[in-house]
Structure 1
Amino acid sequence: MTRMRTTKTLDLPLLAMLLAIGCVEEGEAVPDDDDAPIDVGVDVEEDEEGQLGGELDGLAAIPPPPGTSVWSETLYDDGSTRQFMLHTTPEGEVVFEELVEDRISAGPPEESTALDACSDDAYILTGWRWESKLRWYFHAGSTPSELTADDAEKAIKAATSNITGSHNSCGLADEVGASHEYLGRKSKAANISTGGNCLAADGVNVVSFGDLPAGTLATACVWFSGGVAKEGDVQLNKADHEWTTSPGSATCAQQFSVRAVMTHERGHTFGLGHVGEGSHGRLTMSPTIDGPCQDSESTLGEGDVAGLRALYG
């Protein structure tokens, strides 16, 4: 029998000190349709009949197959993010885990002012890595009208190579063994709904533009098992934002850099988590995108490179 349990991780590294706060029978919280997302609750209370209610800001995901987990990040245009994981145990129990942004980072202690990117070796690992090339597609038909498909494709490819080639301005050599292979254009969107929910994995890695909830800049999903990544999809919100591949241009106005946002999201795809914004805001993997018409996230800092080396060195 499938059961669902909601948990919350508090101020500790991934998968540490999980706090279980409830469980329900299949008919109470898990949809009959295997392809329907589960709305997950954290501040959950039992009513008089013992049933659970409440949601985590409407976040949801389709439960992955037994023995598999799905991770989701929603990146908002105000600089905030929300992350969670949905784990399905080999026995079929579905466990929700919220990831809190102020988890402890490896590297320097928290400071009131962000360190220089090339003097900051902080990083967080999410719990997965790729054991083979990331082979991926771009849904060129989703390109927004302000871009050409060729330019968008080039920027997304460059962002992916920023991670696998550890592109940085700190003079650090590329000692990262991660790799990717672009397989071309595909008339298929990322497995991410218009509500920003991770849908069922299909083993096809896709980057696309599309409609996401208002205030959302991008959503990324990664499916993994036993610490090994199986699929990574990214969707950029073209319904509420405009995008650019020339953020330094004099004509840029409130447009977000495809390469900058995708470099951040590709860091997640390859297993990097968020570091604290207050002390580590100059790193690509800090949670806040620095705003439109800039490209700073496209260049990795020391901590970003150190995390990739820890995974793929």
Structure 2
Amino acid sequence: MTGRNSGLIGRTAVAFVLAASLSAVADSAHAGTAGAKVCRLDEGVLTVDDLPAGSSVIECGAVGRVVAYDGTGVTVPEPGTAVSVDALATDGSTHGFTLEVAADGVVSYGLADAAADSSTAGSDVSDVLSSPARTADDLSQEPDGADADAADNGAGTEVASVEAASSPSACGDGAYKTDDRKEYGTYNWYIGDGGMPGALSRTDAKWAFYDAIDNITDSYNDCGYGDSVGAKANFLSETSYEADINSSSQCTARDGLSTWDAGDLKSGVVATTCSWTWPMPGVKNDLREADVRFNTHDYDFTNKPTSSCSNKYDIRSVGTHEAGHVFGLGHVGSGHENLTMYTNSFLCSTKARTLGKGDVLALRSIY
């Protein structure tokens, strides 16, 4: 064989090996995506069918899009993040879900309240956003039109519902649900801009929210249970940032601050909590941020319900319920009307300020 022919044969062999290698890489890449579910990202708000569980937010280009389910919605977060929305509805129905994006971009959903999870070990990690999102177009700063502490000019107190009267007492009802969420460190929170519920000043709103959050972290109850819950919270300051929740009760992109405020939400929703966590397989997800908004556009609130109260929600009762969501508590439904985490907050009632047996047991199961 001549040197010229030998060189030609050598180059042919190299080319064949290279082509085979490229083909193998292509086949491998195809095999890696073949199992992923197909997404359909048309314009507008998406559904859980448009971005199904098992699809990839990376391949679909879905980060930043809104996914709606059962009257609520969340903005798809970056990989390695989960976002949950919980809405307190006037009719006692449950509205909320969780969208989790794994580190590799694969989507999964939690479309119902989760059962209690006894795995609670974990560690808190500092959280700094390099480019926090501002969502000014979603904001509403209209104040309430009534003095929170003034006497109400109503027709009388709300009559207790038949369901609440026939349900177990708060201290006799051990039912609870928890979500896949835990604050492993300290929940640092802020007061946002704009009008506050009950037309409170930002200072007075701070103390009302502070008391509501303490009801959860101190497991405040009249059932004789001591405080063995290790949850912690700390008010930091007022801020020009707003809760990352829009007028459709949807979670927008998070800005890194856990903000409590008031504004416009979807009609039929008294308050909404949005929570962002870092997935932690085998234990509760690690809370990174949790925002709360009261719906002062459609509903009136008071900080001191009087005997003549009519058609107003108690700020600290609603706040205690929402703080329960912040610290990982889920809703309980019909038959459990006397618990703080019942799916409705009764007008002119302060009973949700005080935890029931199930509320305390839920916190103890997490903390």
TM-score range, shorter chain: 0.7 to 0.9
CA–CA distance in structure 2, aligned partners of residues 170 and 132 of structure 1: 27
* Alignment of 1:298 onto 2:298: no
Corresponding pairs, count: 273
Change (3 A) 1:76 1:58: closer
1:241 to 291, 299, 316: 299
* Equivalence for 1:181: 234
* Alignment of 1:81 onto 2:94: yes
* Alignment of 1:35 onto 2:93: no
Q: Deviations over 1:198-222 (max 9, x none)?
A: 1112221001101011111111111
Identity across matched positions, percent: 36
Q: Deviations over 1:124-150 (max 9, x none)?
A: 121111111100001153315633333
* Alignment of 1:217 onto 2:270: yes
Q: Return the TM-score normalized by structure 2.
A: 0.67
1:285 to 341, 350, 357: 341
Q: Deviations over 1:18-54 (max 9, x none)?
A: xx977778799765xx434234xxxxxxxxxxxxxxx
* Equivalence for 1:44: none
Preserved contact between residue 146 and residue 242 of structure 1 (Cα < 8 Å): no
1:19-168 equivalence runs, <5 A? 34-39=63-68, 56-99=69-112, 113-144=166-197, 146-168=199-221
Change (3 A) 1:167 1:27: closer
Amino acid at match of 2:188: R
Q: Which runs of 4+ in 1 moved over 6 A?
A: 5-8, 20-29, 103-106
CA–CA distance in structure 2, aligned partners of residues 29 and 38 of structure 1: 13
Q: Deviations over 1:102-130 (max 9, x none)?
A: x7679xxxxx9521111222221211111
Report the Cα offset of residue 57 of structure 1: 4.4
* Alignment of 1:258 onto 2:287: no
CA–CA distance in structure 1, aligned partners of residues 72 and 228 of structure 2: 37
Amino acid at match of 1:37: V
Report the Cα offset of residue 281 of structure 1: 2.0
CA–CA distance in structure 1, aligned partners of residues 361 and 261 of structure 2: 29
Report the Cα offset of residue 95 of structure 1: 2.9
Preserved contact between residue 277 and residue 288 of structure 1 (Cα < 8 Å): no
**What SS does the corresponding residue of 1:99 show, helix, strand or coil?**
coil
Preserved contact between residue 206 and residue 233 of structure 1 (Cα < 8 Å): yes
Preserved contact between residue 140 and residue 153 of structure 1 (Cα < 8 Å): no
CA–CA distance in structure 2, aligned partners of residues 265 and 205 of structure 1: 13
Q: Deviations over 1:156-202 (max 9, x none)?
A: 11000000011001121111111100112112210111111111122
Change (3 A) 1:104 1:228: closer
Q: Deviations over 1:72-116 (max 9, x none)?
A: 11211222221111111222123333216xx7679xxxxx95211
* Equivalence for 2:364: 309
Preserved contact between residue 4 and residue 23 of structure 1 (Cα < 8 Å): no
Preserved contact between residue 97 and residue 112 of structure 2 (Cα < 8 Å): yes
Bigger strand share: 1
CA–CA distance in structure 2, aligned partners of residues 105 and 181 of structure 1: 26
Preserved contact between residue 134 and residue 181 of structure 1 (Cα < 8 Å): yes
Please, which runs of 5 or more residues in structure 2 have no aligned partner?
1-32, 41-46, 118-164
Preserved contact between residue 30 and residue 38 of structure 1 (Cα < 8 Å): no
Preserved contact between residue 198 and residue 315 of structure 2 (Cα < 8 Å): no
**What SS does the corresponding residue of 2:208 show, helix, strand or coil?**
helix
Preserved contact between residue 147 and residue 243 of structure 1 (Cα < 8 Å): no
Preserved contact between residue 213 and residue 319 of structure 2 (Cα < 8 Å): yes
CA–CA distance in structure 1, aligned partners of residues 259 and 348 of structure 2: 25
Please, which runs of 5 or more residues in structure 1 have no aligned partner?
9-19, 40-55, 107-111
Preserved contact between residue 7 and residue 97 of structure 1 (Cα < 8 Å): no
